[in-house]
């Protein structure tokens, strides 16, 4: 079985169908319940030995359930919170990615306040799909924690201070993490302090995370300004109406009707079956259901999805069940 700590998110998603391992989602669920009554959640440290024990339980394949009902209790809140931070800290590619971390930080260094939300909406589209999905899950979770800041003292600002170092890779981060503490002390500024540039970028990353936590429901909405142009859309799609066609319009291009359209789609499906589903990529399996995707033939960025499940029954019996029962 695979160890999930230190495993790239793209592999996590290919095994489980989700961008984050099952145990991470279970820990988030537990912490959501505990958040209102826990002062300093994510700021107070857990017990190292207990964290190590929890980590051993989580050292399984991404899709395996670890913390079923009753396996965690209130005394473990800070241990679970520490382990959650540890998971994101140990990702081989940080959640905001090495390529785009600086981009997100610079939005809050150089772009006017009134334009930052739209800039963020553009920037999240640059992230790999699995990173964007994992980021959305984490931000919604942190937003829920911050809702109870009156009792747990964890505002979005405090949460950003705790999580930003684990999510962003800014100037010099990789280099500094790979050298000894003695050399690191000599490298970071004249007095062992972060350089001015590092301080600015760190502060900007925290501001970025604060805004993403507070406006998590907005930043994953595609920008709608007049100048926005959707990527990867063919010239045909750009010039066509965005609305779905009416039933009476289907098949007209083939001098037919909606029945003609459905027959054509059925023929295409049979052809793909004969071609052994060429071009389809298996993304993962969830509860025995295989999930595959394929690039759209019309150039649209939204991929085709296919689910596959084996049923122990004759085809005619299955058809009868679907059509008549």
Per-residue pLDDT of 104-143, as tens digits, reads: 999 999 999 999 999 999 999 999 999 999 999 999 999 9
Q: Domain check: are 184 and 307 in the same one?
A: no
Residue 86 CA to its chain's centroid (Å): 17
Q: Domain check: are 204 and 240 in the same one?
A: no
53 has a pLDDT exceeding 80: yes
Q: Domain check: are 58 and 204 in the same one?
A: yes
pLDDT for residue 65: 82
Is 229 domain-assigned? Answer: no
Q: Domain check: are 45 and 153 in the same one?
A: yes
Q: Domain check: are 13 and 138 in the same one?
A: yes
Is 219 domain-assigned? Answer: no
Alpha helix ranges (H) inside the chain:
9-16, 22-34, 48-58, 77-89, 101-110, 116-124, 129-146, 149-152, 156-167, 173-177, 181-187, 196-214, 235-239, 258-274, 315-324
Last residue of a domain, one of 165, 185, 214: 214
**123, 104 Cβ separation under 8 angstroms:** yes
Q: Domain check: are 173 and 310 in the same one?
A: no
pLDDT for residue 266: 87
Q: ∠ CA(194), CA(99), CA(90), 5° rounding?
A: 70
DSSP character at residue 186: H
Q: Domain check: are 70 and 195 in the same one?
A: yes
228 has a pLDDT exceeding 50: no
Number of structural domains (the chain) is 2
Q: What is the mean pLDDT of the chain?
A: 83
Instruction: State the residue for tokens 């979005």.
Output: 156
Q: d(Cα 96, Cα 110) in Å, to the nearest integer?
A: 19
pLDDT for residue 125: 92
Say which range, 46-50, 199-203, 289-293, has the weakest mean pLDDT.
289-293
Segment 59-77 shows an average pLDDT of: 81
Q: Domain check: are 293 and 173 in the same one?
A: no
Is 147 domain-assigned? Answer: yes
Q: Domain check: are 162 and 57 in the same one?
A: yes
3-state secondary structure of 289: strand
Using CA of residue 112, residue 115, residue 120, residue 123, what is the dihedral sign? negative
Q: ∠ CA(194), CA(102), CA(208), 5° rounding?
A: 90
182 has a pLDDT exceeding 60: no
Q: d(Cα 275, Cα 262) in Å, to the nearest integer?
A: 20
Is 4 domain-assigned? Answer: no
Is 20 domain-assigned? Answer: yes
Q: Domain check: are 174 and 244 in the same one?
A: no
231 has a pLDDT exceeding 60: no
Quick: pLDDT tens for 140-173.
999 999 999 999 999 999 999 999 999 999 875 5
Structure tokens at 95: 């959640």
pLDDT for residue 173: 54
179 has a pLDDT exceeding 50: no
240 has a pLDDT exceeding 80: no
**218, 121 Cβ separation under 8 angstroms:** yes
pLDDT for residue 71: 78
pLDDT for residue 287: 77
DSSP character at residue 249: G
pTM: 0.67
Residue 164 CB coordination number (10 Å): 22
Q: Which helix (H) or strand (E) holds 292?
A: strand 289-294
Is 221 domain-assigned? Answer: no
At residue 192 the predicted structure's pLDDT band, cuts being 50, 70 and 90, is low
Structural domain span for residue 315: 235-324
310 has a pLDDT exceeding 60: yes
Read off the CATH number of the domain in which 67 is found.
1.10.555.10
Say which range, 13-27, 71-85, 241-255, 308-322, has the weakest mean pLDDT.
241-255
């Amino acid at each position: 079985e695979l160890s999930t700590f230190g495993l790239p998110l793209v592999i996590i998603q290919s095994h489980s169908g989700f961008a984050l391992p099952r145990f991470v989602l279970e820990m988030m669920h537990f912490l959501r319940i505990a958040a209102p009554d826990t002062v300093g959640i994510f700021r107070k440290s857990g017990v190292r030995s207990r964290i190590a024990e929890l980590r051993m339980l989580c050292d399984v394949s991404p899709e395996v359930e670890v913390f079923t009902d009753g396996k965690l209790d209130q005394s473990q809140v800070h241990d679970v919170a520490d382990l959650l931070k540890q998971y994101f800290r140990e990702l081989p590619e940080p959640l905001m990615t090495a390529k785009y971390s600086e981009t997100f930080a610079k939005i809050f260094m150089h772009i006017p306040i009134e334009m930052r939300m739209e800039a963020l909406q553009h920037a999240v589209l640059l992230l790999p799909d699995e990173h964007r999905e994992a980021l959305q899950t984490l931000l919604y979770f942190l937003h829920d924690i911050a809702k109870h800041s009156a009792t747990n003292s964890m505002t979005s600002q405090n949460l950003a201070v705790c999580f930003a170092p684990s999510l962003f890779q800014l100037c010099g981060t990789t280099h500094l993490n790979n050298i000894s503490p003695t050399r690191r002390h000599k490298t970071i500024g004249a007095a062992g302090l972060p350089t001015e540039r590092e301080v600015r970028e760190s502060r900007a990353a925290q501001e970025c995370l604060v805004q993403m936590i507070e406006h998590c429901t907005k930043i994953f909405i595609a920008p709608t300004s007049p100048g926005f142009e959707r990527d990867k859309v063919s010239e045909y799609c750009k010039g066509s109406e965005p609305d779905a066609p009416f039933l009476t319009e289907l098949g007209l291009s083939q001098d037919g009707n909606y029945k003609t359209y459905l027959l054509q789609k059925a023929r295409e499906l049979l052809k793909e079956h004969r071609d052994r589903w060429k071009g389809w990529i298996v993304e993962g399996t969830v509860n025995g259901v295989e999930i595959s995707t394929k690039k759209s033939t019309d150039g649209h960025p939204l991929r085709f999805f296919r689910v596959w499940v084996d049923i122990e029954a004759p085809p005619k019996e299955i058809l009868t069940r679907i059509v008549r029962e």
